[in-house]
Amino acid sequence: MSGERPETSLSIKRADKRTDERFVTNAQRFSIPVENWDNPSVKMFIDTFNRVEALEEDLAAEHHLDVAGMHPSLSMRFARVDNLLRAAMEMLADGLEGKSRRPADRGYIKDKVNLALEPYGLTVIEQPQPSGSQR
């Protein structure tokens, strides 16, 4: 026996199943062909997206947390990082959203990053892109 308690082993198996389900869900969401799912780069990409998405979900659920004497508050810190994670997910999904292959929404990214940076006096500005330039 590996020394693991049965309930620990079961918890790990459930977590692995959720991870596998999330992989399949997002691989399909991004219209990645099934034959590419075993590619290490595809696995790393989907795993990265899944971790960013899971962290964003965790932080969004914790906006109510606060500790006396912390300025800015924990909820403000989490809200700022949540905005950055939402921008990151938009960038990771760039050109991959389903069959439409929609490009990342630059305005959405700018708005989310600006919300996160506003307390620091920083602002993202848009610069016109030459036609045909790559993002």
Q: What is the pLDDT of residues 22-41, one digit of tens each?
A: 999 999 989 999 999 999 99
Residue 107: per-residue pLDDT:
93
Whether the CA torsion 85, 89, 90, 91 is positive or negative: it is positive
Question: Can you give the pLDDT at residue 68?
Answer: 83
d(CA 119, CA 87): 17
pLDDT in 10s for each residue of the chain, 135 residues: 455 555 555 544 555 556 689 999 999 989 999 999 999 999 999 999 999 999 999 888 876 777 788 888 888 888 999 999 999 999 999 988 666 678 899 999 999 999 999 999 999 988 877 776 655
Cβ atoms within 10 Å of 83's Cβ, excluding its own? 20
Separation between Cα atoms, residue 37 and residue 24, nearest integer Å:
9
Query: Which residues are paired to 97 by β-bridges?
Result: 102
Task: Tell me how far apart the alpha carbons of residues 96 and 100 are, in angstroms, rounded to a whole number.
Answer: 8
Cβ proximity of 30 and 93 under 8 Å: yes
85: nearest Cα among 105, 60, 107, 120:
60
Q: What is the pLDDT of residue 99?
A: 61
Residue 133: predicted pLDDT: 60
How much is the pTM?
Answer: 0.75
